[in-house]
């Protein structure tokens, strides 16, 4: 059985393990702070990370980009013949593949690798365009078809988006070029075939299963009762933080002793070891998240890596997003054939 296993440094393909290039980059928050634009952006824009799902009656989500205010992880893929390389976020919360293109001349595109259709002998144009929506603006892409390579997995005639216009914020400050969505096909804007679909259809995978490994609800010992009437959670490698429903957010900050200042949630670095462990109870199993997981220490400057979610789930229940803060603690397996997600404690 072939699985696509993204494990920070390994991709399980064919008969063996091949190294996948995943880099830990400086966060967009850090880049924007260095340039002196973070505080103004936070004041003008509140971006709900749940906007990327865009729930509606048709169960279709218009893809935004990814959460862009903290750490992120991205891998290298290539598109075209000969290959043109791109760093992309491998996002379990979206389904479209897009990269910057030579059709885009904004500052954000100029700073990144751009796909050139004329440089690829296998490229074809669909003539269609669509818009990807996210909290701070819109991203317009043109649809094209070409060969996509993820290590030695080769997908031919893969539909993908070529950006035509990328706003300065946030993309100019991102170290990655684009996004490779890995969620269900029903979430793909325009009904495009996902990379995972094409891998399966072309015999590159025997099962639609992939997993992530990143190295390395109760608060403390008391149950919160927050989800006594039900909650839903999205396991999303494209969201960096742990997101908490707005109605619980202030209580959470009080419980962990965080204070908001200039858009950041500050805590005393000397007190991190005394902060409570957050325990998620999922299907009867407990998944603890220690303070070392949800607090970032940047040279003695400690912040809580969480943010609020304002949108509810499709059923109206409070919505949590278990992003990289959670996933760094647990090996996660996405079994799309059986509609299930599994977790195991990271080694």
Question: Torsions phi, psi of 187, nearest 5?
Answer: -90, -5
User: Do 92 and 182 contact (CB within 8 A), yes or no?
Assistant: yes
Collapse the DSSP code of 22 into the 3-class scheme (helix H, G, I; strand E, B; otherwise coil) and give the result: strand
Rounded to the nearest 5°, which phi and psi values hold at 341? -125, 135
Task: Quickly list H helices, 7-100.
Answer: 28-34, 38-44
Instruction: Give the pair of three-digit tokens for residue 98.
Output: 């897009």
66 by DSSP, 3-state: which?
Answer: coil
91 is catalytic: yes
- Number of Cβ within 10 Å of residue 251's Cβ equals 12
Instruction: Check 48, 146, 177, 236 and give the catalytic one.
Output: 236
**Rounded Cα distance, 318 and 202, in Å:** 39
What is the Cα–Cα distance from 62 to 222, expressed in whole angstroms? 38
Contact at 8 Å (CB) between 307 and 316? no
The set of catalytic residues is 91, 236
């Amino acid at each position: 059985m072939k699985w696509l296993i993204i494990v920070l440094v390994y991709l399980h393909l064919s008969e063996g393990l091949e190294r996948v290039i995943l880099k830990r980059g400086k966060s967009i928050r850090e880049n924007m702070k260095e340039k002196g634009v973070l505080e103004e952006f936070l004041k003008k824009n509140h971006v709900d990370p749940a906007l990327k799902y865009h729930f509606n009656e048709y169960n279709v989500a218009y893809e935004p980009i990814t959460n862009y205010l903290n750490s992120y992880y991205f891998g290298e893929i290539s598109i075209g013949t000969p290959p043109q390389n791109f760093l992309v976020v491998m996002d379990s919360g979206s389904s479209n593949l897009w990269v910057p293109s030579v059709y885009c001349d904004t500052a954000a595109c100029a700073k990144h690798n751009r796909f050139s259709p004329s440089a690829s002998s296998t490229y074809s144009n669909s003539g269609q365009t669509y818009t990807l929506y996210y909290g701070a603006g819109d991203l317009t892409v043109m649809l094209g078809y070409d060969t996509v390579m993820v290590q030695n997995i080769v997908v031919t005639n893969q539909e993908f988006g070529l950006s035509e216009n990328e706003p300065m914020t946030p993309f100019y400050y991102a170290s990655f070029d684009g996004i490779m969505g890995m969620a269900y096909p029903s979430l793909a804007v325009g009904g495009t075939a996902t990379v995972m679909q094409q891998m399966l259809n072309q015999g590159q995978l025997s099962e639609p299963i992939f997993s992530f490994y990143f190295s390395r609800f109760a608060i403390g010992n008391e149950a919160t009762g927050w989800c006594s009437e039900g909650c839903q959670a999205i396991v999303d490698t494209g969201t960096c933080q742990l997101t908490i429903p707005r109605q619980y957010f202030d209580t959470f900050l009080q419980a962990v002793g965080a204070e908001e200042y200039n858009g950041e949630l500050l805590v005393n670095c000397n007190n991190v070891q005394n902060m409570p462990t957050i325990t998620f109870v999922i299907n009867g199993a407990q998944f603890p998240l220690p303070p070392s997981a949800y607090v970032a220490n940047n040279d003695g400057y400690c912040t809580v890596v969480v943010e609020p979610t304002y949108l509810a789930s499709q059923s109206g229940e409070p919505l949590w997003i278990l992003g990289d803060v959670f996933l760094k603690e647990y090996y996660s397996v996405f079994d799309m054939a059986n509609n299930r997600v599994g977790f195991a404690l990271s080694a």
